[in-house]
Amino acid sequence: MQSDLLDQSALRTLAERLVEAARKAGADAADAVAVRGISQGVEVRDGRVEESERSEGDDVGLRVLVGKRQAVVSTNDVSGDGVARLAERAVAMARVAPDDKYVGLADPELLARDIPELDLLDPQIPSTAELERRAQEAEAAALGVKGVTKSGGASASAGIGGMVLVTSSGFHGAYLRSSQSISTTAISGEGTGMERDYDYTAAPHGADLLAPVAVGRSAGERAVARANPRKVATCQVPVVFDPRVSGSLVGHLVGAINGASIARKTSFLKDKLGAQLFANGIRIIDDPLRLRGLRSQPFDAEGVKVKKTALVDDGVLTTWLLDSGTARELGMVTTGHAHRGVSSSPSPGPFNLHLEAGVVTAKELISDIKQGFYVTDLIGSGVNGVTGDYSRGASGFWIENGEIGYAVSEVTIAGHLFEIFKSMTPASDLEFRYGVNAPTVRIEGLTLGGR
């Protein structure tokens, strides 16, 4: 990795100049974000490279506040006297923006003073040749699975993303994070009987990736297992979510406790803070400080100190996700969950999420189910965050007498998130592979819409 790509000193200087220029132009307060993005990726099919690309770029964003008015401008070219012009334009925009009594920088007392080291940067970024090798190995492993008839392609990528944040209230912070991934899609069957499935691995450090052969083999085995799916009659049965999709249930909770939704009163959980939503023992954690975490970062997009938080503790909803603006609107204090891009103002969102593991194995979780459905893939986004109604297309496998049997496709699972949360039982097989992680999860009494 070229050392100049890891040097953020020029970006830090640029952010400082932008904030200073904004104050000179008449802003009461300002903050500047500078984002570095470097990515390279390779796609292969049938052993040949189909596409290889690389991109590099730095973008900057400036937010200015004039009284209770706010404006955000962004650019990827600040040369000559561009800093002064950008700041003047931002201040002029803010002066004609509508008043918003909730805007403002974060409380200085809440800012991060010590930036923790989270080991997010792998200095050994792979070459294009290495990415080709990974993708080709993964594809070959998928094609080597008996029953796989063709490749849906494989890819490998690597990159670096970083952020510098400077505020007029005195915060200066920066971090860099690498990312690497391998993915494969495999197809089984022929003609109208073809089925496809995939697998992938992603991590900041290459050493934490699954081996390309393991990714490819898993994709192939999944595709073959889906061959000759059957349809099932509409019924109400226990539904078990594979770890690859069970994290989506955590995602629905987190979307509903986002401070922006709470402030707009567009969440079905708007009056449920402190309520028992889950069974005793259920804990859902957001951890921005996980070492080598996919979504880890040492401070939020307002410079606020971040911390590991139990969003749900012993089944009880403990908090909303807040940035400074939504916190002021709700009469609360930011939880350090601000995110932003260079062209947007801060808004709340999660970091590394996980549902803590239960005590029973996945096999034990299924063992007493006479008739049920094991979900491996979800389709569409039929979840209403205002009402909590849940309805999604799905495919997977039929459970009979405690055993996973034949493949099932073209069904819909439906219920209400209140009931889903209340009946959730996690297994003990939690692994940290994604941005949102959960073990195998069992939900009682969902409606399965079939033939």
Domain count, the chain: 2
DSSP annotation of 105? P
The pLDDT value given to residue 298:
96
* Domain containing residue 36: 1-221
Q: Which helix (H) or strand (E) holds 133?
A: helix 128-143
Q: H or E stretch including 263?
A: helix 259-264
Same domain, 337 and 287: yes
Query: How many Cα atoms are found within 13 Å in the side-chain-facing hemisphere of 408?
Result: 29
207 with 247, same domain? no
Please tell me whether residues 263 and 161 are part of one structural domain: no
Strands (E), 83-222: 148-167, 172-188, 195-203
pLDDT of 18: 94
- What are 268's two structure tokens? 């079905």
The CATH number given to whatever domain includes residue 6 is: 3.30.2290.10
Q: Are 415 and 390 in contact (CB under 8 A)?
A: yes
pLDDT for 445 equals 84
Note the pLDDT of residue 422: 96
| Terminal CA-CA length for the chain | 55
Do 212 and 235 belong together in one domain? no
| Beta bridge pairs of residue 375 | 241, 396
The answer to whether residues 268 and 387 touch, using CB atoms and an 8 Å cutoff, is yes
User: Of 187, 205, 221, which residue constitutes the final position of a domain?
Assistant: 221
The span from the CA of 106 to the CA of 406, in Å, is 54
Same-domain status, 342 and 396: yes
Question: 162, 192, 221 — which closes off a domain?
Answer: 221
Considering only CA atoms, which of 330, 337, 245, 238 is closest in space to residue 297? 337
Strand 389-400, strand 316-317: pairing: unpaired
Q: Tell me, what's the pLDDT at 3?
A: 61
Closest of 347, 276, 341, 335 to residue 309, by C-alpha: 335
In angstroms, the CA 451 to CA 448 distance is: 10
Please tell me whether residues 207 and 252 are part of one structural domain.
no
The closest of 337, 14, 50 to 163, measured between CA atoms, is 14
Q: How far is CA 301 from CA 167, 233, 234, in A?
A: 11, 49, 47
Give the pair of three-digit tokens for residue 143.
């094609």
The answer on 339 and 374 residing in a single domain is yes
Mean pLDDT per 10-residue section of the chain, whose length is 451 residues = 72 93 95 92 95 90 95 83 89 94 95 94 92 97 96 96 93 95 96 92 96 98 94 94 96 96 95 97 97 96 97 98 96 96 93 97 96 94 91 95 94 95 97 95 92 71
Tell whether 211 and 270 lie within a shared domain: no
Shared domain check, 155 and 263: no
Same domain, 52 and 127: yes
Q: H helices of 305-357, where?
A: 324-330
Same domain, 319 and 216: no
Please tell me the distance from the alpha carbon of residue 138 to that of residue 209, in angstroms, as a whole number: 12
pTM above 0.85, yes or no: yes
Q: Which one of 187, 221, 255 terminates a domain?
A: 221
Q: Are 398 and 223 in contact (CB under 8 A)?
A: no
Judge contact between 40 and 128, C-beta under 8 A.
Answer: yes
CA distance 13 to 18: 9
Residues 136 and 21 placed together within one structural domain of the fold: yes
